[in-house]
Amino acid sequence: MTMREINFDGLIGPSHNYAGLSLGNLASTKNAGHVSRPREAALQGIEKMRANLELGLVQGVFMPLPRPNGGWLADLGADFMTTTHALAANAMSASSMWAANAATVSPAPDTEDGRCHLTVANLKTMPHRSHEWPDTLAQLRLAFAHDAFAVHDPVPPAFGDEGAANFMRLADSHADTGLEIFVYGVSGGPYPARQHIEASRAIARLHKLDPERTLFVQQSEKAIAAGAFHNDVVAVANERTLFAHEKAFADKDDTLSRIRDRFAGLEYVEVADADVPLADAISSYLFNAQLLTLPTGEQTLVVPTECRDTPSVWKWLQAHLASNGPIRRVEVVDVRQSMANGGGPACLRLRVACDPDTVDPRFLVDHDKLDAMAKVVATRWPETIDGRELQSETLVNTVRQARAAMLDLLDLSRDLSD
Ligand code: SUG
């Protein structure tokens, strides 16, 4: 069996819009009411996947969910065309694009039964995200139907769970047994802490992890209050490397000493607040980068263009490259449409370390498939959506038909309905 890290990106859906639904996500609030560009957004996402392929990596994709979610509205006794704008916006959100929030993944080497475990996230804190999980679960059960995987229902909604965005794994290599680190929040000043420790503990039990190789670490309240609504806005890990902002964790010294006790090979790369203030780290999404091991063994950081446009961040990156530190290359990708809703390169992907032969091939992409997907996007995705005018028959039909055309292309229509 060949273990590889596969990044599954959420294809940016045809209903992508800016409705300002996420309190504590500063970009979402700032861009509320702006006109979105779903076609451009999805093409940016496809180019990001293409760039990963060009780096020699295995790339996967998840489909947009059915929008508007009429079933969810029906459960609320509402109908899309006649309900309030606020409820309609919650039903129309394309937020499943941020696949890092789809699930928490424990690769096979870490689990007692030697299977790769996935728990779909309940995302219960934000109404527009709380109805993603049933359709996300349907895709996970399809993509990971092989015996090599165990796919779990969400943890009960008493405890908020936002999936892999609050989870890190350290290991000598993706194929080795790792240390799984769950990051939870307690409070975030004026903003909600979205990951509850009890959800993280439940997942660790359900995934049959070894308690000796599992850690629960508290996210800094200051970081949440500054706009780091998920830990992956201030820290990212890959193999032996932990790349984090000085202010990412509630108690940095204790966190690092607990990690080192369990994972002696740690390579810790810290960015000091004096070099990159928390505000710059959050607006540029320096840590919401994909930290990837290339086939050559070198580590690359895939950052959004906003990092190049933020002087403190770009200076730090150049200095790190010159110092021959653990990150050897920096690649820049344009995902501005997603960034304007608080979703960077790392938000857009769910990492699964597994044998690619065990994944349903309809969820894996190559250049030809990406070309064909780009054609469907270019002809079917709306060019613009005015977030104030979501309740339009024409828009609803366009969004439904666009998704249906993509499912047809990927031979998924039979299995993923509306
Ligand atoms: O949950 N934005 C998402 C962004 C998720 C980013 N994910 C990670 N950090 N892994 C969120 O806040 C914007 C919705 C709106 O305003 O329309 C939104 O949901």
Q: Please tell me the distance from the alpha carbon of residue 377 to that of residue 13, in angstroms, as a whole number.
A: 9
Report which of 402, 332, 412 is spatially closest to residue 42, judged by C-alpha positions.
402
Check whether 226 has a pLDDT greater than 90: yes
Contact 105, 351 (CB under 8 A): yes
Q: Note the pLDDT of residue 418.
A: 76
- Whether the bond between 66 and the residue before it is cis, its omega within 30 degrees of 0, is no
Band the pLDDT of 417: cuts 50, 70, 90.
confident
Q: Model confidence over 40-93: pLDDT tens digits?
A: 999 999 999 999 999 999 999 999 999 999 999 999 999 999 999 999 999 999
Other beta carbons less than 10 A from residue 224's beta carbon: 26
| Residues facing residue 118 across a β-bridge | 105, 151
pTM for the predicted model, two decimal places = 0.98
- Closest listed residue to residue 404, CA positions, set 415, 393, 418, 391: 418
Q: Which CATH superfamily is domain 4-416 in?
A: Succinylarginine dihydrolase (3.75.10.20)
CA distance 313 to 205: 38
State which of 37, 62, 347 you would mutate to test the pocket of ligand 1, scoring each by most atoms of that ligand within 8 A of its C-beta.
347
Question: Distance (Å, rounded) from C-alpha 416 to C-alpha 392?
Answer: 24
Summarize the confidence of residues 395-409 as an average pLDDT: 98
Catalytic residues: 162, 230, 347
Average pLDDT of the segment spanning 189-217: 96
Distance 329 CA to ligand 1 centre (A): 27
- How does residue 299 score in pLDDT terms, banded at 50, 70 and 90? very high
Given a cut of 70, whether residue 6 has pLDDT beyond it is yes
Cα gap 17→95, rounded to integer Å: 9
Helix, strand, or coil (residue 89): helix
Give the span between the Cα atoms of 119 and 103, in whole angstroms. 5
Cα torsion at 138, 126, 192, 251 (round to 10°)? 20
Q: Which atom of ligand 1 is nearest to the CA of 342?
A: 4
**Distance from the alpha carbon of residue 60 to the mean position of ligand 1, in angstroms:** 21
pLDDT at 100 exceeding the cut of 80: yes
H-assigned helices in 285-366: 305-308, 311-322, 336-339
Q: How many whole angstroms from 161 Cα to the centroid of ligand 1?
A: 14
pLDDT over 90 (residue 388): no
List the domain boundaries for the chain: 4-416
Probe target for ligand 1 pocket from 35, 87, 90, 98, with the most ligand atoms within 8 Å of CB: 98
Question: Which DSSP state fits 69?
Answer: -
Structure token digits, residue 156: 């009960």
Place 140 in a pLDDT band, splitting at 50, 70 and 90. very high
- Write the CB contacts of 7 (distance below 8 Å, at least 6 apart in sequence): 52, 57, 58, 59, 60, 290, 292, 349, 350, 351
- Percent of the chain scored above 90 by pLDDT? 97
**What string of H, E and C letters represents the secondary structure of 211-271?**
HHHEEEEEECHHHHHCCCCCHHHCEEEECCEEEEECCCECCHHHHHHHHHHHCCCCEEEEE
Task: Output the pLDDT for position 1.
Answer: 66
The closest of 36, 8, 45 to 164, measured between CA atoms, is 8
350-377 confidence digits (pLDDT tens): 999 999 999 999 999 999 999 999 999 9
Q: What is the mean pLDDT of the chain?
A: 97
Contacts of 69 (CB under 8 A, 6+ apart): 91, 131, 135
